[in-house]
Structure formats: C-alpha cells, structure tokens
Chain A
Amino acid sequence: MAALSVFVLILVCCALAPVYASWAGVDPFRSTLDAVIIVNGVEQPVMELPKTGLALGFSPIGPTWQPGNYFLGADNQGRDVMARLLYGGLNSITIAGIATILTLAFATLLGLVAGFYGGLADTIISRVLDVLWAFPVYLLAISLSVVMITQGIRLGPVEIDSGSLALPIFIIGLIYIPYVARPVRGQVMSLRQSDFVMAAIGLGASPGRILRKDILPNVSTTLIVFVPIMLALNMLTESALSFLSIGVQPPNASWGTIIQDGQSLLYTRPWVALAPGIMIVLSVLSLNVFGDGLRDALDPKSRVKLGRG
C-alpha cells in the first residue's frame, strides 16, 4: 500500500503541472532562448555562450535548486526542465494507463473468444497472436512508429494525427496484447472444462450468460494482477519509444523525450536526463512493488510474470 501511495503521489504532483508552471511563470512548451532570471539576486541569462576560448556552443543554465525558478535548470530551448518534467510525467502516465486498458480489453476479448469457442476461431486468433509474439516487441513498436509518425493513421472514419498522443497509446496497446491474451486463453480453456461450466452448459445456459457469470469473474483476478505490471511495462516502453524519438512528439513532453533532450546535454547538464530517469524508476518501482503485493494477495500460484526489455 505504501508503494501505491508513492505512485499516487507522483501522479498527483504531475497532475499539478499547470499549477506549477503558472506559479513559476514559465511556459514549458515555448522556446525562451532569451529569457533572463534572477538567481541569488544576480541576473542570469537562461541560455549563454561561453566567454572564454572560441566562444562555441550555446549552453542552458544548470539547476538552481530554487523551486519555481528553473529548479532543475533549462533544456536546449531555454525551457524550465522542472515544469516539463511534471507535464511529461502526466503524459507518460496517461499513455501507459490508456494503453493498459486497451491491451487488457482486447486481450480479454480475444482470449475469451479463442478459449471458449475453440475450433477455427481459436486457430486463427492463436496464430495471429503467435506472429505478434514472435515479432520482437521493440522492433514491432519501432516499425509501426516510424511509419505512423510520418503519416498518421487512417482507419476508415478514424483519423489519428501523427502528432497526437493517441498514436503511442495505440502502438503500445497493440504490441502487448499477446502477453495478456495467451494466459487468459489458457485460463478460459481450463475453466471451460471445469465441472461448473459443464453443468451450466448442461442446464442450457446461453454462452453469453456463462461467459458473463461463470468465466469472466474468474478471469478478472488475473486481469487485476496484470494491471500494475502492464502499467509498469507500458511506462518503460513509452519512454523507450520517446527516447528513440518515435513516441511523444515535440514540443510536447514525456519522460522519454526529456531523457532524449537530455542525452544531447549529458556532458554539461546531466540533470536534464537524470531527473526523468529517476522519476521513471520511482514510478515503475512503486507499481512493481504494488503489483507484487497484489499478486501475493489474489493469485499466489499464477504464472503472470514481469515483462522483459
């Protein structure tokens, strides 16, 4: 529970990003190359050329460690890293959250249909899942992203713009479906053979009723156990995609994109990359600890395992 509260605390802080930005008087999505701030009574430009040597390179200010005043310094557009960190966290968590819901919903649907009806439906679904499963996760995600970032998606009436957050959500939601659908299918299959379902079928209950009343409640435990694990996994995936600049698009931010911005400042301003990384570790860790507890409580024998990266 302590773990869950850590995560909730991070979430609340990130949700307060607009409050922080307006209090600090900065716009985290606008380039402010000529801004000047006051640190300890001394005026300092946010971006500065060196005064020595050949005067090469335009460097952002480092952390001032003063809340509301470029606490973590600026990035290469002169934007307040602290404000971006909070906004970025909000995006990271939102994407991971919605993607988790998508994954679980589709995986449950596919798992139920394949496991319950068996036969042709099962064969088709299982084979498609096999293909997705054998496709290395990052390769699939990167392939999809490269193409979609260029073009956006047009699926009939649904049109997702290439800069939209919906894009990484869609991609991340899609790639992990087999991870959840496979165990769900297995569980449904064994439930299908169990005495109480057999009895229900014998009594003439409709398949819909059986699925709803007998199978879904049993499967839902597995699904609940999956929630924190998938959330953690999705956060890592989102950050990796954004790090490879095929996730969230600028000037919007996520922890992954801030790490990427920070990568080009790693030698002089390491905090730009360190801070979002630490935030990712904290949130994912709290989710994993919480997920652990949840599993021990609900599903001690389960084979639900952590994903790999």
Chain B
Amino acid sequence: MKKLLLATSAALVLALPAWAEYKEEHRGGTMRLVARSAAGTVDPHINYTLQYWQIYQGLYDGLLAFKKAAGEDGFTKVPDLAEAMPEVSADGKTYTFKLRPGIKFSNGQEVTTKDVVASLQRIFKVSSPTAGGFYSVIVGADACLAEPATCTLEGGVSADEATGVITITLTRPDAEFLDKLALPHAVILPADTPAQDVGTAPVPGTGAYMISAYDPNSGMTMTRNPHFKVWSEDAQPDGYPDVIQYDFGLTDEAEVNAVMNGEADWMYDQPPADRLAEIGSTYADQVHITPLTAWWYAPMNTNIPPFDNVKARQAVNFAIDRNALVNLFGGPVLASPVCQVLPPGFPGHVPYCPYTKNPDQVWSAPDLEKARALVEESGTKGQKVTVIAEDTAISKAIGTYMQSVLTDIGYDAEVKPLSPNIQFTYIQNTSNNVQISITQWYQDYPAASDFLNILFGCASFTPGSDSSINIAGFCDKDIQAKMDEAMLLGVTDPEAANKMWADIDRAVTDAAPMAALFTPKRIDFVSKRVGNFQFNNQFYWMVSQSWVQ
C-alpha cells in the first residue's frame, strides 16, 4: 500500500513538475464555513461584497487574476485566461490579449473569445455597480451605460476567434485598468449567461470549484469543477477539499462556539468582543491575524454646520482618543490608530499625523485642550450634532464613544445607530443631512486612487443621491486637479505618481473632511484541523488552499 502510494506520487511529480508543492495526501474532505448571513446575489458581475469576492477566487477567472499567493504577493497581477500579460500600445490606450486555448467552463463548454466579448458587454447589460466607475473608460461604454440592453462596446472590444486575440481600446490611458480586469466584475462567463442578474442561480465558471447549490437563507455548496485542469498555479491552483460548504444564519456567538467545538472550520464574521479574550488565550494557535488595507473613519459633512468649518473638523480629529477606539475594536493586536487616508502598506503611504498631542508621524495621544480651543474659535460651540453609526456592537460602541467626545468638546451631541444595511446608503444621501457618521472602506484593488479619488473626489459626490460615496461631500478644485494629474502620471511612472499621492494624502488629511480612526486587522479563527492557512492581501484567506485532512 505504502509503496503503491509512493509510486503514484512520484509519477505525479514527474508528469507535472509545477505540482511539486501540491500535497496529495491532504486532498479531500469537506471544508465547513459559517457566516451570519448570505451576501446577496451570486452573480459575479454584480456582487460587490468581500464575503463573496473571497470565495470567487476559486470559482471564476478573468483574463487576468491577482496571484493566488500569501501576503503582499497577492497584489501581483498574473495572466489567467489570457496566455500572457497584454501588449499595450505606445499611447497606453490599446491592450492586446491572447486567449489560452483548451479551458472549459464547469458545464463542459470551451471558453472562446465570444465568451470574453459577451462577458465584458454583460458588465453593462446587468448594470454592474462598477460599470460606470471602473469600466466606463472602454470605448463605447458611454452608449452601453445609456442603453444597457443593446450594449455592444463597438470599437472598444473586438476579437478574432481563429487566433484567439482580443483587443480592448480605451478612451484614455488608465493606470489601473489591469487591476480592474482582474476583479470579479470582469470575470469570463459563458456567452449565453442571461443578460440580467442571475440572483440565486449559479453561473458556470472556469475555476477549480463550482457552486452546486445556493439558498441565501441556508447555505451554499461548492464542489469540484469536473472540467478543471490546472493551467497556471499562480492564477488558478487546484484546491484541497472536495467540498466547500458555506452555511448561513448563525449568530456570531454561535459561530464562535461552532468553530471551538470543531463543528465548523472557519467563521466569516469577526468574533464578538466578549469572546476575544477566550479565543486569544485558549485557542491562540487557531487564530490568524492579518493587517488589512482598509480603514474605519468618520466622514464629516463639509457642506452643513458645524462641519462646514474646517476648524470644527480638525477639532474632532484632535479630540478622538484613537487608542480607546482601538481597544473597543479588540485591542492593539487587532487595530492600529491612524490619522491619514492611505493605510499602511498601501502604494503611496507615507506616515503622517498632524492630529496628535506631540505632532509626529504617528498618533500618540488626543489633545483635548487644542480641540476645545478650535471649537471655540470656529464659533460652532453648542451646536447640535448627530452621529450616525451602524447597529452592530462595534460601530455602536464607537458611535457612543464619539457622542461622548463631541459632548466633551462642547457640542450638543447624540448618536443614532441604524441597521447596517440602511446606514451605508443613508449617510451618503445629502437630503438626510447627516453631519458625521462611522463607516469603513476596504480597497477594491491596491491603488491610492481607490481611497483618495473615490472617497474624496468631486466625481463621487452626487447631491440627493443614495449613491454618493464621497460622504463628506468634499470637493476641492486644487486637490482634484492634483489627483487627475497623478492618475495620468501613473500610466507612465507609477513611482512618481505614488509620491504625488503621498502629497495628496497629506493635503486631504489637513483639510479633514473626515476623522481617520484606525486600520483594522482581520482575525481568522479556524478549527483545529485546518492546515496550510494562507492569507492573500487582495481577496483574503484562500479557502481552497487550506486542507482539512
């Protein structure tokens, strides 16, 4: 028996040298994941949640992909369904890809250039949330946004079926276009996928796994894609478990219990504060903590009192005890205080903190006296301020704490926690007159503009709309001009561009359209039997790369 096994694995190694790292003895079993709730539609062109983007890693492929590797390596883009990285024309507007032949969808159909063209059109046909933000740079996208049903991307996307060559033309150079192509919203689906949100009916993909059942009220089952063969370890490696079972509907407490008792292998939600001490001591070896490129911040509406006054906004920045917030989040192991926009480890990040007792690169202590003085100077003392928080334990605790701080520096403050699903659109709409709120932003892809230009750019501010991600309503002509310049520069000289972004980060931080609170870390609590835990900075823990036996 033993001999036989050795012989087969030796044969495997010989046949597929790239598989050297794949440990055959760990293959098989069921990985059981749990989450409080489902995250909506399974349509990869529409779903815009971390929860499903994480599992899409092993389900779908785009022309390009973020490398399936641990840590910062996960930010690297590698060719996936394309044979190689594209050729870019001198003017930076035309990208030429060559499709890898012989790859099949989980329904047995072969991937053709037709599927690629149809998938890029489908982004607009289904009104993907990022259709306007990310992909409007493709030629013909304007017509597609105006009339989604008849979208052709004429002149923007063309393909030659015989040679497998796909050409994408942009209206202007875009340094981040390849990042955007590697996101789940641009994955390749069969050309005959319905041109509308598929909702709960899974779409066949090219990944190592496929969704075989989905009910948002109970769970999702992922099984091996029978037509999958490894074509690139970096882009789409084979997975260990035979089945990945994702169950929904448990409370956070119950999730923790399930993982502790080995009834589940991993929980999506962050463990409740009450259980952290126990997890950190008794179960310390089952915990993986990783810094995220994300931030918790408190946008302040720069268009209505009292925060239309820059001194009032700076006062809030000086007053907040970020250590207290870090503690509310679970302690210094789980978060670090921050004053600026770009998170540590992000392109363009240079440590900067003007809002601390002894101004330095990093935050040390709040300066309440200065804060009170600034409030006094601004003439906004005694005004009514309402903090809008999410109705989750942590956000509510932070909101309550902020209410307390605002009262301390002279405002008549109250806090209003809203259901998390409502809160995010509520705080965006200017007609709700939200003054200050608590929210978070997680990167889409590693580029400074994904924080600065999206959260504080003029184009993201739409008064009266529920979708106006520039929550502070901050629009500064000079800063915007610099951001446009930096984005253009990024096409030719990313390093110089990142230096510019560092300046912009400083300028935005000084203008204080928000109070940066802290950079969160992710805590992954896994069962005893989970091995080979690897955390990819782009899409988080790579579920299929861990084993359960």
Contact = CB atoms under 8 A, between A and B. Distances in A.
Interface of A: 30-31, 33-34, 47, 49-50, 52-59, 76-77, 146, 149-150, 162-163, 245, 249-251, 264-269
Given A150-B422, A163-B416, A250-B396, A33 B324 contact: yes
A30 B404 contact: yes
A22 B403 CA distance: 21
Interface residues of B, number: 45
B391 A59 contact: no
Interface string B395-434: 0110111011101000000111111001000100000000
B275 interface: yes
Interface string B259-285: 000000000000011111111111010
Contacts of B396: 245, 250
Q: Which of A47, A59, A150, A269 has the most CB of B within 10 A?
A: A150
A56 B282 CA distance: 11
Interface string B304-339: 000000000000000001001001101111100000
Given A58-B327, A250-B415, A251-B400, A76 B273 contact: yes
B333 A55 contact: yes
B346 to A, nearest CB: 25
Contacts of A77: 397, 400-401, 404
Interface string B148-180: 000000000000000000000000000000000
B426 A50 contact: no
Given A33-B401, A251-B400, A76 B328 contact: yes
Contacts of A49: 327, 331-332
B281 A53 contact: yes
A50 B272 contact: no
A30 B253 contact: no
A50 B277 contact: yes
B258 interface: no
A52 B281 contact: yes
Contact of B280 (A47, A50, A149, A267): A50
Contacts of B405: 31
Contact of B274 (A34, A146, A265): A265
A149 B330 CA distance: 29
A31 B422 CA distance: 26
B496 interface: no
Given A52-B281, A267-B278, 11 more contacts: A30-B404, A33-B327, A50-B280, A54-B280, A55-B332, A56-B330, A59-B277, A245-B417, A250-B396, A251-B415, A269-B274
B331 A163 contact: no
A62 B330 CA distance: 18
B426 A57 contact: no
B13 interface: no
26 contacts: A30-B407, A31-B404, A49-B332, A53-B282, A53-B284, A54-B287, A54-B289, A55-B280, A55-B332, A56-B331, A56-B334, A57-B275, A57-B277, A59-B274, A76-B273, A77-B400, A77-B404, A146-B419, A150-B418, A150-B422, A250-B400, A250-B403, A251-B403, A251-B404, A265-B274, A268-B277
